Amino acid sequence: MNILALETSGEFCSVALWMDGRCLQRHAPAPASHTVHLLPACEALLAEAGITLSALDGLAFGSGPGAFTGVRVAASAAQGIALAHDLPVVPVSSLAALAYGGWRVNGIAGQLPVLDARRHEVYWGGYEVKRGHTVLVLPEIASPIAVMERPSSGLWALVGRGVSLLTADDLARLAPAAVAPAEFTFPQACDVAELAAPVLQQGAGVAPEAALPVYLRNAL
């Protein structure tokens, strides 16, 4: 199975090609320029793998939350490619992908992914991670940092660029379950693809027109 995955919810433009468990990935900083970098990066990745869009079995994209424009860019590109080639699409939460990447880096099943939501808020949630899938245990929301909590038991890792916004008091409040954040700071397309693969293998992808972004709050 071949899956093209896109993740542009933050400052990085990340694309990946998942081929039966093997993943090729390209990502680079692209603040406010995802539209310039995304499709050329996809073309370069497909050329590197020696396949064309007609060889794909499906698309996946980071559906947010994140920067409104970035989330729309990935959703629109996935919809366009899928429509042109009659392919199913899997929207994958950008926070879930971030949690999966955190687990991949530090091996801790409990992940609290945190992204900067601006306006003195963060996007966050709680996930239990196993290979190939995540389970949401604290709902994804946009909130002030003071609202953040952790499950009552177990070891939990804070992960994501938004962790840098937490003060020492915030970290102390989240301890003792919270551990030092991993260097992994943004959602990556390989993790989007890894989470989408079981969905596509079960034939549960959605039609392109149903592949919609998730914002968690309205833009002003």
| CB contact at 8 A, 127 and 97 | no
All domains in the chain, ordered by first residue: 2-93+198-210 (3.30.420.40), 94-179 (3.30.420.40)
Across all residues in the chain, what is the average pLDDT?
A: 92
| Separation of alpha carbons 128 and 110, rounded Å | 5
| Separation of alpha carbons 163 and 116, rounded Å | 8
Is the pLDDT at 210 greater than 70? The verdict is yes
Is the pLDDT at 114 greater than 90? The verdict is yes
Is the pLDDT at 82 greater than 70? The verdict is yes
Specify the pTM.
Answer: 0.95
Residue found under tokens 């490619």: 81
pLDDT-based confidence at residue 146 (cuts at 50, 70, 90): very high
Q: pLDDT for 151-203, tens place per residue?
A: 877 888 899 999 999 998 888 788 666 676 666 789 999 999 999 999 999 99
Residue found under tokens 């301890």: 175
Q: Buried (b) or exposed (e) across 9-25, using 16+ Cβ within 10 A?
A: bbbbbbbbbbbeeebbb
- The per-residue pLDDT for 173 is 81
